[in-house]
Amino acid sequence: MNSEPWSEPFLFARRYLESRGALIEAGPEGIDALLPQELAESLGVPDEVQFKEGASSESKAQYTITYGSALLEKMVELSCARAPLACCQVSFHYLKSQGFDRLIQDQFRFRKALCRVTSTAPIKTDYLVLTCRYVARSDEQKEGLLAFSFHVDTGAQIPFRLETLIGGASEISSLHDFAGDKKKWERIIQALPKIVEPAIAEEIREFRKSMNRRLKRDTANIEEYYETLKKEMEASLGRTGLSDRLVQDRREKIALIPEELAKKKEDLLQKYSVRVKVIPAAALLIRTPAVRLLCDVHMGREKRPVSLTYNPLTKALDPLACDGCGGSTTEVTFCSRHHALCSRCSQACPACDS
Distances (CA, A) of 120 to 293, 294, 323, 340: 5, 6, 23, 21
Are 319 and 158 spatial neighbours (Cβ–Cβ below 8 Å)? yes
Those residues whose C-beta lies under 8 Å from the C-beta of residue 229, and which sit 6 or more positions away, are: 257
Q: What are phi and psi of 69, to 5 degrees?
A: -70, 145
| Whether residue 98 is found in the same domain as residue 199 | yes
- Does any domain span residue 2? no
The helix, strand and coil proportions of the chain, stated in percent and rounded to the nearest 5, come to: 35, 35, 30
| Whether residue 155 is found in the same domain as residue 303 | yes
How does pLDDT run across 105-127, given as a tens digit for each residue?
999 999 999 999 999 999 999 99
How does pLDDT run across 203-245, given as a tens digit for each residue?
999 999 999 999 999 999 999 999 999 998 888 887 777 788 8
State yes or no: pLDDT of 78 exceeds 80. Answer: yes
| Whether residue 92 is found in the same domain as residue 158 | yes
Question: By residue range, what is the domain housing residue 75?
Answer: 8-81
The total domain count for the chain is 3
The C-alpha angle 160, 292, 123, rounded to 5 degrees, equals 85
pLDDT of residue 177: 61
Distances (CA, A) of 123 to 27, 240, 288, 292, 327: 48, 95, 8, 6, 23
Those residues whose C-beta lies under 8 Å from the C-beta of residue 130, and which sit 6 or more positions away, are: 83, 147, 148, 149, 150, 188, 192, 280, 282, 283
State yes or no: pLDDT of 174 exceeds 50. Answer: yes
| Whether residue 146 is found in the same domain as residue 116 | yes
| Whether residue 129 is found in the same domain as residue 174 | yes
Strand 114-137 and strand 316-317: the pairing is unpaired
State yes or no: pLDDT of 53 exceeds 80. Answer: no
- For residues 181-209, give the mean pLDDT: 88
Question: Which of 46, 81, 116 represents a domain boundary (last residue)?
Answer: 81
pLDDT of residue 236: 85
- For residues 179-190, give the mean pLDDT: 78
pLDDT of residue 70: 86
Residues 217 and 318: their CA atoms lie apart, in Å, by 47
| Whether residue 67 is found in the same domain as residue 20 | yes
Question: Which of 37, 58, 81 represents a domain boundary (last residue)?
Answer: 81
| Whether residue 23 is found in the same domain as residue 130 | no
- Does any domain span residue 259? yes
Residues in the chain: 354
